[in-house]
Amino acid sequence: MKQAVMTEPGKISFYDVAQPALADHDVLMQTKRIGVCGSDIHVYHGMHPYTSYPVVQGHEVGGVVVAVGKAVTKVKEGDKITFMPQVTCGECYPCQHGMYHICESLKVMGFQTGGAAQEYFAMPEWHVIKLPETMSLDQAAMIEPISVAVHAIARGGDVAGKRVLVLGAGAIGNLTAQVAKASGAQAVMITDISPYKLEKARQCGIDCTVNTAEENLAEAILQHFGPAKADLILECVGVEPTMTQAVEVARKGTTIVVVGVFGQKPQVDLGLVQDRELSLVGTLMYQQADYERALELVAEGKMHLDEMITHRFAFEDYLDAYHAIEDSNGHYLKVMIELD
C-alpha cells in the first residue's frame, strides 16, 4: 500500500509498505478522506513543538472498515468510521481519573506516532467511532475538529443564553463559533483580519463578524454585546496578538479558553489577569462524549460543513495541498485529501 511520510519540514515522500496486520482487537480502515489541520501546517513548517520527523500525518479522517480482528464487536466490515487519535498509557493519574485525553504520556496519531496518511490504517477498537451510514465521507473527516470545538466550548461552561466571543475565524474558530451557536448562545461574535475567512463564517451562520484590522474590537464588543461585554472568550489562533486581545477586552471575571496551538511562547499580561480575576482555561483535544456530541450536531443539521471545504487534492498530490495553502494568501479553510 502507499504511505505518505513527511520526512522533514516541507517534504513528503511516498513509500510502498506492507498492509498492517491485525491483532484480535484491531480494526482495519480503508482511508478515504484526510483533513489538513492547523497543527498539521505547524508540522509542515517545522513549528510544532511536540512533533519530530519522519512522521506519517493524518488525524482528521473518514474511512470504511475493511477487516476486523476476531475479538472486535463495535464495528463490522463496510461500516463508516472515524477515530480518536489519542494513544494513552491508562495508568497515570489523568487516565485513572477520567482525563485520558491529557494522559501524562499522551501521544497523538499523526504527530508523536503514526497517522492515517496511508491507504489502510489499523488501530485498536477503542479508538474507533462508528458513523451513521447517511454521513458523508467529508463529514466523517470533520468530526474530529468539531469535537475539538465541542470540548473547548464545554471547558468554558454552559453557553446557553451567553454572549460568546471567538478570536480567529480559521477552521477551528469557525467550528467553535458554530458549536457555540448550536449550543444556545445568545450571541456569537467572531473576529479575524481576513475578509475571506469572515465571509466564510457568515456563510456558516455566524452573523456578527469583526475585522480587527479595520475595526476597534473593544468598541465592536460594546456595540454588539453591550456593557456586559462577552461572557466567554475563546482564543482560536495561537499567536500572541490575539492572546493579548483576549485579556485586554475581557470583562472582569470573564473566562478565556485557550484553544489555539502556540508555535511560539506568548507573553501574557498576568497583571490584568490578576487584577480582573480572569480565568485562563486550557483545552486539549476531546473525549468520546465530545465525539458523540459532534455526531449529534451533524445529524441534527446544525453544522455548516460543505461551506468550509475550500480545496481538494488527490492523495498523490498531498504536498500540493500545503503549497496551495501557502499560495492562497489565507483564502482557504478546510483542505481535504481524497483517497477514493
SS3 string, 73-120, reads: CCCCCCCEEEECCEECCCCCHHHHCCCHHHCCCCEEECCCECCCCECE
Q: Which residue has the cell 508540522?
A: 43
Report how far apart the first and last C-alpha atoms of the chain are (Å, whole number): 14
294 phi/psi in degrees, rounded to 5: -60, -45
CA distance 320 to 302: 32
285 and 101 Cβ atoms separated by less than 8 Å = yes
CA distance 68 to 75: 8
DSSP symbol at 14: E
The mean per-residue pLDDT over the stretch 245-267 comes to 94
In order of 57, 60, 195, the CA distances from 52 in angstroms are 11, 19, 34
Ranges of H-type helices in the chain: 38-44, 93-96, 137-155, 171-182, 195-203, 217-225, 240-249, 270-275, 288-299, 318-327
Q: What is the pLDDT of residue 188?
A: 98
Please work out, in degrees rounded to the nearest 5, the angle formed at the alpha carbon of residue 182 by the alpha carbons of 239 and 108. Answer: 50
Quickly state the pLDDT bin for 274 (edges 50, 70, 90). very high
86 and 38 Cβ atoms separated by less than 8 Å = no
The mean per-residue pLDDT over the stretch 300-329 comes to 97
Q: Which residue has the cell 496551495?
A: 324
Q: Write out the three cell numbers for 61.
A: 479522517
CA distance 198 to 204: 10
Q: What is the pLDDT of residue 340?
A: 83
Residue 327: Cβ within 10 Å count: 10
Q: Which residue has the cell 520526512?
A: 7
Please work out, in degrees rounded to the nearest 5, the angle formed at the alpha carbon of residue 225 by the alpha carbons of 221 and 229. Answer: 70
> Would you say how long the chain is, in residues?
340
Residue 9: Cβ within 10 Å count: 14
Q: What is the pLDDT of residue 49?
A: 82
- Asked whether the predicted pLDDT for residue 193 surpasses 90, the reply is yes
171 and 333 Cβ atoms separated by less than 8 Å = yes
| Mean pLDDT for all residues in the chain | 97
In the chain the domains, ranked by start, together with CATH numbers, are 2-131+305-338 (3.90.180.10), 148-282 (3.40.50.720)
Quickly state the pLDDT bin for 264 (edges 50, 70, 90). confident
Summarised one tens digit per residue, pLDDT across range 22-58 is 999 999 999 999 999 989 998 999 988 889 999 999 9
The mean per-residue pLDDT over the stretch 276-299 comes to 97
Summarised one tens digit per residue, pLDDT across range 87-140 is 999 999 999 999 999 999 999 999 999 999 999 999 999 999 999 999 999 999
CA distance 31 to 44: 21
Q: Which residue has the cell 495508568?
A: 91
147 and 286 Cβ atoms separated by less than 8 Å = yes
Q: What is the pLDDT of residue 48?
A: 85
Q: What is the pLDDT of residue 261?
A: 86
- Asked whether the predicted pLDDT for residue 262 surpasses 90, the reply is no
Q: What is the pLDDT of residue 285?
A: 96
% pLDDT > 70, the chain: 100
Summarised one tens digit per residue, pLDDT across range 226-236 is 999 999 999 99
Q: What is the pLDDT of residue 47?
A: 85
- Asked whether the predicted pLDDT for residue 263 surpasses 80, the reply is no
Summarised one tens digit per residue, pLDDT across range 178-190 is 999 999 999 999 9
Q: What predicted TM-score, i.e. pTM, was given to this entire model?
A: 0.96
